[in-house]
Amino acid sequence: MSNQASIKRFEELEAGRILGDLDAAETAEWQELSAELGRGSDLSLELAAAAIETDFIQEQEVALPDDIAALVRREIPKFSSPEKSSATIIAPPVWQRLFQSPKAAWAIAALFAALFVAGFLTDGAKPSNPPELSSEEARDELLRKAGDLIESDFGGTEAYGGMSGKVVWSDALQEGYMTLTNLPANKPDKNQYQLWIVDPSRDEKPVDGGVFDIPSGKETAVIPIRNPLAVTKPAAFVITLEQPGGVVVSKQEVVVALAKAS
């Protein structure tokens, strides 16, 4: 696929992501193209969708029920200590005062936003792992920064007894990596490896952790975990061999390796 064709395809997939209608194969394709092109979320498409939906809804808007409005008003003040990230520009006490004066609130928010120019909205549109970081570097960075790291060793099934590996995962960052050694190279046009994350707190069905390849001649490979759905309490990580592009629900005909989270 040419670069221009890839960009067009990515844009179409991004529109699908924003409309909430990507299937599993398309989600995997979105992730691959995102890494290949170094592109992430497209804010302008998301704003277009929001503008359309907002415009239609305003004609038939339903008032927020009083009990829910009261609940929101009660809950919001509980956030007295927000994350002190650079993205949180307005400190909570200031925020609360500002919203007693709506016009001032938006004006000052705009001023702060302008001071930080273009930054934060576009930052959110970038992929979480900058393309210049290799998988190894990104994994090492995760090891340094994650305070809730889960680590577990992979054990190969009978046919894959020669492989070994480790998985690291952070619930808070929703980021993880597998370091796999002696896993046989696959032929991407015939089959691909797919990771599944078992998270009983979420669902009895495993969550897709992304499709990946092991290139020939590579003894050890570091593979980023790509989970389109949030995982909060992983109990196990399972690698299967599936058809190219992966599957939505694995029949687990070829289970390659398993790592139980302790």
Site for other proteins in 94-153 (CB under 8 A): 95-96, 99-100, 102, 105-106, 109-110, 112-114, 120-122, 124-125
Give me the least distance between CB of 202 and other proteins, in Å please. 8
* Contacts with 229 (C-beta within 8 Å, 6 or more apart), sequence order: 202, 207, 208
Give me the least distance between CB of 60 and other proteins, in Å please. 7
With contacts defined by CB under 8 A, how many residues of the chain interact with other proteins?
A: 77
Q: Which residues of 211-241 are buried (b: 16+ CB within 10 A; e: fewer)?
A: bbbbeeeeeebbbbbbbeeebeebebbbbbb
44 binds other proteins (CB under 8 A): yes
Nearest Cα residue to 182 out of 166, 160, 210, 153: 160
Which residue stretch of 36-44, 145-153, 161-169, 187-195 sits at the interface with other proteins (rule: CB under 8 A)?
Answer: 36-44
- Taking the least distance from each CB to other proteins, the nearer of 71 and 133 is 71
- DSSP H helices, 60-216, are 66-75, 92-98, 102-115, 119-123, 135-145
CA atoms within 13 A on the CB side of 41: 12
Give the contact letters, 10-29, x = binds to other proteins (CB under 8 A), - = no. Answer: -xx--xx-xxxxxxxx-x--
Q: How many helices (H) and strands (E) does the chain have?
A: 8, 8
Task: Scan residues 162-191 and list those touching other proteins (CB under 8 A).
Answer: none
CA distance 247 to 255: 14
Nearest Cα residue to 214 out of 236, 235, 195, 234: 195
Residue from 137, 143, 161, 205 that binds other proteins (CB under 8 A)? 205
Residue from 2, 28, 40, 65 that binds other proteins (CB under 8 A)? 65
Give me the least distance between CB of 180 and other proteins, in Å please. 27
Which residue stretch of 60-68, 145-153, 166-174, 184-192 sits at the interface with other proteins (rule: CB under 8 A)?
Answer: 60-68
DSSP 128-147: SS-TTS-HHHHHHHHHHH-S
56 binds other proteins (CB under 8 A): yes
Give me the least distance between CB of 151 and other proteins, in Å please. 27
Tracing tokens 């503008």 back to the chain, one arrives at 51
Give me the least distance between CB of 239 and other proteins, in Å please. 21
Structure tokens at 43: 């804010």
| φ, ψ for residue 209, nearest 5 deg | -110, 5
Residue from 50, 143, 172, 185 that binds other proteins (CB under 8 A)? 50
35 binds other proteins (CB under 8 A): no
Give me the least distance between CB of 154 and other proteins, in Å please. 26
